[in-house]
Chains A and B, each alone.
Chain A
């Protein structure tokens, strides 16, 4: 992937990374690189996640008790730190998702009107 390609991707909005991490983990535990890949792939390579920036977010979520982490072995027998969703994290995900959808709808409405009016 070239620099050109990376520049065209969307940067994440502030605060959305937490939501995406929680959402990714709903399918089961995953290590940091796996989470980063999953976000990129699921968004069909539209979203740019700086892998290094993922970790403070993971740490924050862990501190809040929404995800838990432990060292384990990956499918290719490499040691990695695996994150999984906690019960509180699941609740938070529902809450955040609803909030995001409301926000997205609201912004969508405004933009649609602008487009129609303009």
Chain B
């Protein structure tokens, strides 16, 4: 449209030339120069108007208007730096918090997985509903049958996880590894960063052993050297040829977030069609057009056929989960709650902004009236006011995004480790363009939300009324005052909901932290030192190693007791079947199972697990002696209700297994072995001296003296281990307190965020109350002066202000309680030991809100009580 923009001067020259031509013509027809000039100009019409018309036609007028509005808006905002700072900061906090949570929602729930057609990928586990099993590992027999006989999948690949010890290229270290089928990489559509993935030949038992490195391991252990390809790496003392490196960030996006992040992938999975060993997971790619339900139905048909061939697999069915659901784990609910909470914060910020703008409009009523009188239309003024709001919005938005980039790091620090595995971008979340677009949309939406009502309100000045009142602190309509009160009531109601949510989370955390775990986690250091290789093939070599390590550790200064174990409360779980001598052949489906913990003699002392009956283990409980076990109270209650468990016999394994019987010599107290929010499980403790072959111990448990922090002895303990064998890797160094906190980490994150949101909400709503009260007091100065002149006491004035504040609070709290009762139910899954409608929490929050309202009315009340009747009446 505007191929060549003409300058206004160009047009003016043309108009001038036109008039000159006309003058010349008229002079030729006999007019005098003067007459001709006048006539020519008359014929042309209004030159200035023509110039204006030209100008208007050539310009984007709205752009001009916008520039003008922006300049004017900046000037107006600059005149009231206090208002501007409060407004921008309020909005920055609201937008910042929203952006942080959205970036997490995006990273965890929305961001496309980096695989080809990721929506067709499913994670395959199995379940056995009649027996209450769910999310179990699958066996090669099932994988091969599902793959071969189910028509739902293009392909299905299996992998298994274990930890392995690297002994070449540097110090020995233990890393999580995955043994994966070559298909896995093709199925995911994942290409290596370097080299190649496995070939089908390498899946076989006798095939060449090859390894793929994770990007991290390649960088850490091989210095990102491309010549690592082709080298040999010793894994569990077996040589593997490195054939490739996977790209950074690939490590764990296709498997359970609760698993470990593999450092390496190994070939040679060798699935045997007859194997029912449940140690695998599957990832499948559904055929186009097939959904999860149909795929599951296909798999069920195959499962029915398998269970005829393999009675051991009776009742088992495939459990399919989209990769997205699998990867995001159960954070979905927590993130939804947080997103809801943060939107509430944003709404409160908007209400507060609207409130501030209304108050500002009141003090600018004169300005608006004058501009209106000078011809500014209502639309033009609404536009001007919205532009001002937009300036605040943009300022707040920019600051908010800056705050968010900082907040994302804070959130990543709070986030559970598994969340960081499946959403590696969590810390830098705000830098994503999609997150930034969301922030921009939020800015625009909030600008309209908080700016429109005040703009409409303010742009309709009551001209004569306002101008007449000039000098009296020009008033605003009653309607605007009511609107502001409604906004404050809403703010208080929203704050109430957030406070209740935060309160419930705090109660949950206190509840969880207050649970008696059954052992004493303080002053306990734990680590793992897995033994592998020829040297430790014989159980007695392992026992010997641990005897030396425990002796050396116990001799360290500051160490009270030390023991070894396989399995730690909360950290490790090894469920297995067992049978008792009283009931050696329970029917299928009723075989009892328990957590097996293989322990050294001092284990109960080191963790301070009380012994309820019988005795603990001692040095004599070794291979030669009678085989013994200690059970927990839960097992005793379950298997031998009302009987003395001491002397009873049980043995590990399924019915018909021929393991020797163990005599129960003691009963240990129950331990929350899967975290404080789950109940007790049956547990069997076995002395490692008698059963090193069952589960060889690998945890060292060290209790330090009361005055010694466990961190202090770490170096000495590691030295003690390396003093016994330099080649043993040490991994997972942690205090028992850290381990005990791990199951609560999601609730802790939600709590921390909810508490900060609720705090913000409380502060904003207090600010709202304060601004409404102080404004209405300023308006009523004359009335108050009059009342005082007529004999009202300061008490009466105080009651007036406080009464106003409490009325707002009472309304807000009433609405808030109703809303909270509806909304906190959605949090039920996150709560522990407290009901969503917890009366104590609701009560405490009400008290907090009332107290805050009183606090917010303090300054306006002081000001109102200080009104001098004479001054007030003279100036009114």
Contact A81 B17 (CB under 8 A): yes
Chain B interface: which of A19-27, A50-58, A84-92?
A: A50-58
Interface residues on B, range: 20 to 34
Interface-forming stretch among B21-29, B90-98, B185-193, B582-590? Answer: B21-29
Q: In the bound complex, how far is the Cα of B24 from the Cα of A34, in angstroms? A: 12
Expressed in whole angstroms, the Cα–Cα distance for A59 and B55 within the complex equals 11
**Contact between chains at A50 and B17 (CB < 8 Å):** no
B43 at the interface (CB under 8 A from A): yes
Collect the chain B residues with CB atoms within 8 Å of residue A79's CB.
13, 17
Is B15 part of the binding interface, using a Cβ–Cβ cutoff of 8 Å?
yes
Residues B46 and A52 in contact, CB atoms below 8 Å apart: yes
Contact (Cβ within 8 A) A52 B14: no
What chain A residues lie within 8 Å of B707 (beta carbons)?
none
Q: Assess the A32–B18 pair: CB atoms within 8 A.
A: yes
List CB contacts (< 8 Å) of A73-104 with chain B. Answer: 74, 76, 78-81
Bound-state CA distance A80–B44 (Å) is 16
The one of B1, B44, B49, B58 that contacts A51, using a Cβ cutoff of 8 Å: B44
Chain B, range 21-55, C-beta contacts under 8 Å to A: 21-22, 24-25, 39, 43-47, 49-50, 53-54
Please state if B21 and A1 are interface contacts (CB–CB under 8 Å): no
Chain A neighbourhood of B2, CB < 8 A: 63
Check: B277 CB closer than 8 A to any chain A CB.
no
Is B57 among interface residues, defined by CB-CB distance under 8 A?
yes
Q: Which of A53, A55, A74 contacts B15 (CB 8 A)?
A: A55
Contact pick for B45, options A32, A50, A78, CB 8 Å: A50
A72 → chain B closest CB, angstroms: 11
Nearest CB on B from A48, distance (A)? 10
B17/A55 in contact, CB under 8 A: no
B11 within 8 A of A: yes
Interface contact A33-B45, CB-CB below 8 Å:
no
B20 part of interface (Cβ distance < 8 Å): yes
Bound complex: CA of A60 vs CA of B24, how far in Å? 28
Find out whether the CB atom of B54 lies under 8 angstroms from the CB atom of A56: yes
Q: B21 is contacted by which of A34, A50, A52, A63 (Cβ under 8 Å)?
A: A34
B18 partner residues in chain A, CB cutoff 8 A:
31-33, 36, 51, 80
Q: How far is the CB of A1 from chain B (nearest CB, A)?
A: 7
The yes or no answer to A109 lying at the interface (CB within 8 A) is no
- Convert B769-795 into 0s and 1s, putting 1 for each residue whose CB lies closer than 8 angstroms to a CB of A: 000000000000000000000000000
In angstroms, Cα B22 to Cα A74, docked, is: 13
Contact status of A56 and B57, CB under 8 A, knowing A50-B45, A51-B44: yes
Given A1-B39, A32-B18, A80-B17, do A55 and B11 touch, yes or no (CB 8 Å)? yes
Given A1-B39, A50-B45, A51-B44, A56:B53 Cβ within 8 A: yes
Interchain CB contact under 8 A, B44 and A52: yes
Contact B22 A51 (CB under 8 A): yes
User: In the complex the two chains form, is A59's CB within 8 Å of B57's CB?
Assistant: yes
Most buried by A among B20, B24, B44, B46: B44
A63 to B2, CA, bound (A): 7
Cβ distance B44 to chain A, nearest Cβ, rounded Å: 4
Contact B53 A74, beta carbon cutoff 8 Å: no
CB pair A31–B45 under 8 Å, yes or no, is: no
- Tell me whether B45 and A80 are in contact (CB under 8 A): no
CB atoms of A78 and B39 under 8 A apart: no
- Beyond A51-B43, A52-B47, whether A59 also contacts B54 by CB under 8 A is yes
Residue contact B21 to A33, C-beta cutoff 8 Å? yes
Q: Which residues does chain A contribute within 8 Å of B24, judged by CB atoms?
A: 76
Residues of B close to A37: CB separation below 8 A: 25
Chain B residues with CB under 8 Å of A31's CB are 14, 17-18, 21
Q: A31-B18, A32-B14, A78-B20 are in contact. Are A63 and B1 (CB under 8 A)?
A: yes
Find the residue from B2, B14, B15, B39 having the highest chain A CB count within 10 A: B14
Residues B17 and A52 in contact, CB atoms below 8 Å apart: no
- Which A40-75 residues have a C-beta within 8 angstroms of B? 50-53, 55-56, 59-60, 63, 74
Q: Is the CB of A33 within 8 A of B22?
A: yes
Chain A residue numbers with a CB within 8 Å of B11 are 55
- Identify A55's interface contact among B1, B13, B14, B22, CB under 8 A: B14
The contact of A53 among B21, B22, B45, by CB within 8 Å, is: B45
Which of A34, A52, A63, A78 is B50 in contact with, Cβ under 8 Å? Answer: A52
Chain B residues near A78: list those with CB within 8 A: 17, 20-21
- Which of A52, A76, A78, A79 has most B Cβ within 10 Å? A52
Rounded to whole Å, the gap between the CB of B40 and the closest CB of chain A is 8
Q: Which residues of B contact A33 (CB under 8 A)?
A: 17-19, 21-22, 25
The residue in B13, B46, B50 that gathers the most chain A C-beta atoms within 10 A of its C-beta is B50
Given A31-B17, A81-B14, also A52-B22 (CB < 8 A): no
Q: How far, in Å, is A55 (CB) from chain B's closest CB?
A: 6
Given contacts A63-B1, A74-B21, contact A55 B43 (CB under 8 A): no
CA distance A103 to B391 in the complex (A): 53
Task: Chain A residues near B50: list those with CB within 8 A.
Answer: 52-53, 55-56
Chain B nearest Cβ from A64, distance in angstroms: 9
Q: How far is the CA of A80 from the CA of B1 in the complex (A)?
A: 24
Inter-chain CA distance A33–B15, complex, in Å, is: 9
4 closest A-B pairs by beta carbon, nearest first, are A52-B45, A52-B50, A33-B21, A51-B44
Excluding A31-B18, A51-B18, A55-B14, 7 further A-B contacts by CB distance (< 8 Å) are: A33-B22, A34-B21, A52-B49, A52-B53, A55-B50, A79-B17, A80-B17
A and B contact pairs by CB, cutoff 8 A, 24 listed:
A31-B14, A31-B21, A32-B14, A32-B17, A33-B25, A50-B44, A51-B22, A52-B15, A52-B46, A52-B47, A53-B45, A53-B50, A55-B14, A55-B15, A59-B57, A59-B58, A63-B2, A74-B21, A76-B24, A78-B20, A78-B21, A79-B17, A81-B13, A81-B14
